[in-house]
Structure 1
């Protein structure tokens, strides 16, 4: 056992905080500046500052009773948040298990976008398409929609890139894939897909499969229900191991953000 457990706490805080800062900086450099990257970045900064200046902060806050109470209150709030994060991950794991059940007959299959690089799906998006392909092949009467707009500097929409991937990798005819090419978010993915569904005479009351990443299924399902989808059936694709735990962490904040901004 170390003689001074404070040293262990400081080292752990500094390491965890540094990892969070670097991870979020990389995301922000790539243009992903949002609630799910900025908040963890700020939390990481707090961790590193406490790890480096633990004693100085302790001396400062203990000069005043109110500062001391505030400091302890903030740490209490952090541990409450940590518990809520654990609950979120537990519920997410349960939902991922449920999504692995055999898929019933559906009227449509919507594959949500997740980014492209150099005209090709990102590894996360490729996993979604790989997961969708067997379902598309087994339910040939279901309407297939790829959903994703055109990003900055791109010449093709994400929906088109997704459809091309399904054709090149799984020989799914392009004429059987309807492309929703306006959206830039999950909420827009689902709202604009409704236009295609309505044009083809499919009600959003019908069972509709929504294919997305495992970490995203809770938020996507809530958004779908909020928009009026009555039987959204989630199909979860595995997140690449290299980004899996980071994605789960960021999704917690994205889920909170969606709740705060009334997405569900």
Structure 2
């Protein structure tokens, strides 16, 4: 006689299954950063190592997000209390990103408020032709703020159950993000200084470059949300994946406003 045993989960929490993604993502990130440092210092193989790390990180993002998507949309593991914990996690992640950019702003203000004798006691340093803050940087500011409005429109459309309007809001957000990235690439190509041109070049390219990288990651985040929305994986009450993307994108908007005011406008006076 066979005895059947049934197990019932008596709590609303999600016990995550064992996964290799955290350690693989950690090694991919290490490869990316190590390759970047090697490339900046002119070591042989630095560029190839950077590419390897970059595509490894993208692969880990794809697989890990796929697993989380399955847990939330197909397996029903993301209860209300699990979603609350995920929200706290995203908020803490964004706080850590704020600290990351704070270091770049601190370096920029330390160099600009007390310029040393090595750069002629002036800021911007002699020989640095800064960007006109009323040209491409201002256009990019308008583009990024507009993208913040379109993703907010998509959020309201999702909560109202308007799928078509939400899709259009996300499509417009992706288009604006791509235009922003293209303008920033155009700006870098036409710049009169490089990252190796002293403290100004280092602070400028590290701050704006990492912001551009965050725009790229945020664009992928929004594209994933767009695909999930089209597959009816979001409801009016259960759409945390989109909310995380929206939180991240608004963080990118706010950082750019500080960059525009501090680096482009005030730093170019």
Q: Normalising by the residue count of structure 2, what TM-score does the alignment of the two structures yield?
A: 0.27
1 or 2, which has the higher strand percentage? 1
1 or 2, which has the higher helix percentage? 2
